Structure 1
Amino acid sequence: MKLSILMPVYNEVKTLESAVKRVLAVNYPVDIELVIIDDGSKDGTRELYSQWKNESRVLIHEKATNGGKGSAIKKGAELATGDYVIMCDADLEYAPEEIPSLLSPILNGESTVVYGTRTFGSHNAYSYLYVLGNRGVTTTANILFNCYISDLETCFKLMPLELYRKLDVKSAGFGMEAEITGKLLRSGVRPYEVPISYKARSREEGKKLTWKDGVEAIWILAKERFRTPIR
């Protein structure tokens, strides 16, 4: 089994080197590749890529313009060569060291789709409104699809690469998280959830998600609920 780790990057010059180093240092139970998709960075991030040009496990693609996280992940999925795929942001809000824990249910034959579920607390959530928004979007999904998931917006979503491609995600921005989950739930797929740690950035540190993304997510979920299931 081979795992493709997709890392969308947009103006992450402060954290990218550390993020890549940590991803590659993890002791994975499978082969991996790291697919970095630069989404039009302009802060000096692109000057860092030359140091990995001889790293066989790293593939770097530089987009000409910024298109949003969804568009970056879509490109990464096109370039990926693994059997499974997981998203891992370059901002270090998520710990790459915990990716093997998401692989366990796959390797044990318990599931084919695994979500890393965050627990929010005073030490890891910079904004109550952000947490409230995440819970609101997740609750909306649970009501619409009569299911129970804990964290719709989590970045750590692990699934077969071909399944992700089959979902044909259209959302170019952060709405991709809701679209992925909506399409999975609509097709009867219930993600296996594994608890993970989380360390949120503040707006000053580069947090990009806003309340508008929450509204868009609810709209996407509502649309997906009444579409024909994916076969």
Structure 2
Amino acid sequence: MGYINYKVPPDDGQARLDPQRTSIIVPVYNEEKTVVDVIEHLKKLPFNKEIIIIDDGSTDGTREILSNIKDLAVKIVFHETNKGKGSAIATGLKNAEGEIIAIQDADLEYDPNQLVELIKPIQDNKADVVYGSRFLKENPNIYKRYLLGNKFITWLINIFYEAHFTDSYTCYKIFRKEIIEKFNLESKRFEVEAEISIKVAKEKITFLEIPIDYNPRSLEQGKKISFKDAIKGVLTILKYKFK
């Protein structure tokens, strides 16, 4: 894995319809308060794109909201039951037609406008994979328990796989499609974040990290990742180390 921090040139304010189409995969589970806002933000992004929403068995009204969207610019796929983020990403990949793959969470912790900067290194042939890192700039609102858990898992991946990640569990992971398809992802739930980072580390590809802003939710506000997910992440790291 070749690693470098990349500074994006200033935006000239002009919309770019790049011939490389970006498929934005949005796993959704019980996000009735934010899912419409996420879609509207994504539709306004100034690059060639398709939006793929994967409802992962929502039970709170999200499914009904999505069922009423008749926008041809938005593909919507429903899981009958909750299968996990990894399964939702896999379903998104099966439905993706773009040359670039971007993953966007539906909870608005990550500002979709940042995708413009994140896909640019791939559009410009400067990278094969780009991560948006929450730890390359000041994000004071990150809860300490999540910060420590992420840093520990990232440290393990860096030690075991000779990598240089600063944020292995970031939602914002952008790929050339042929790269992520080659990974043949196996993880069904949040541990897919560890699996992806491990497989990025193993590949001889150009990898970049770009600083991003982050506005985290609390458990009370609907944050879904838990201590159990962190344990599964550690087990995934060990699994691929000794597989």
CA RMSD of aligned residues (A): 1.5
Gap runs ≥5 in structure 1: none
CA contact (8 A) 2:128 2:206 kept: no
Consecutive aligned runs of 4 or more in structure 1 exceeding 6 Å deviation: none
Is 1:35 paired with 2:52?
Answer: yes
Q: Which residue of 1 is the match for residue 114 of structure 2?
A: 98
Match of 2:190 among 174, 177, 187: 174
Is 1:22 paired with 2:48?
Answer: no
What displacement does 1:105 show? 1.1
Q: Which residue of 1 is the match for residue 102 of structure 2?
A: 86
What displacement does 1:123 show? 3.9
What displacement does 1:190 show? 5.3
What displacement does 1:162 show? 2.4
Map 1:177-188 onto structure 2 (within 5 A).
177-188=193-204
What displacement does 1:121 show? 5.5
CA contact (8 A) 1:186 1:224 kept: no
* Stretch deviating more after TM superposition (77-86 or 181-190): 181-190
Partner letter of residue 14 of structure 1? K
Partner letter of residue 73 of structure 1? I
Is 1:116 paired with 2:132?
Answer: yes
CA contact (8 A) 2:162 2:201 kept: no
Match of 2:83 among 67, 71, 84: 67
Aligned mates of 1:59, 1:73 — CA distance in 2: 14
Aligned mates of 1:185, 1:121 — CA distance in 2: 25
How many residue pairs were aligned?
223
Aligned mates of 1:180, 1:91 — CA distance in 2: 21
What displacement does 1:225 show? 2.8
Match of 2:228 among 203, 212, 215: 212
What displacement does 1:19 show? 0.9
Q: Which residue of 2 is the match for residue 8 of structure 1?
A: 27
What displacement does 1:98 show? 0.4
Map 1:129-148 onto structure 2 (within 5 A).
129-148=145-164
Aligned mates of 2:225, 2:197 — CA distance in 1: 18
Q: Secondary structure at the match of 1:13?
A: coil
What displacement does 1:116 show? 0.5
Deviations for 1:1-39, whole angstroms, at most 9, x for unmatched residues? 1000000111100111111111111222xx100000000
Aligned mates of 1:162, 1:108 — CA distance in 2: 16
Partner letter of residue 56 of structure 2? D
TM-score, structure 1 length as denominator? Answer: 0.92
CA contact (8 A) 2:55 2:76 kept: yes
Q: Secondary structure at the match of 2:174?
A: strand
Gap runs ≥5 in structure 2: 1-19
CA contact (8 A) 1:4 1:84 kept: yes
Aligned mates of 1:224, 1:214 — CA distance in 2: 16
CA contact (8 A) 2:139 2:214 kept: no
Is 1:203 paired with 2:222?
Answer: no
What displacement does 1:223 show? 2.2
Q: Which residue of 2 is the match for residue 162 of structure 1?
A: 178
TM-score, structure 2 length as denominator? Answer: 0.87
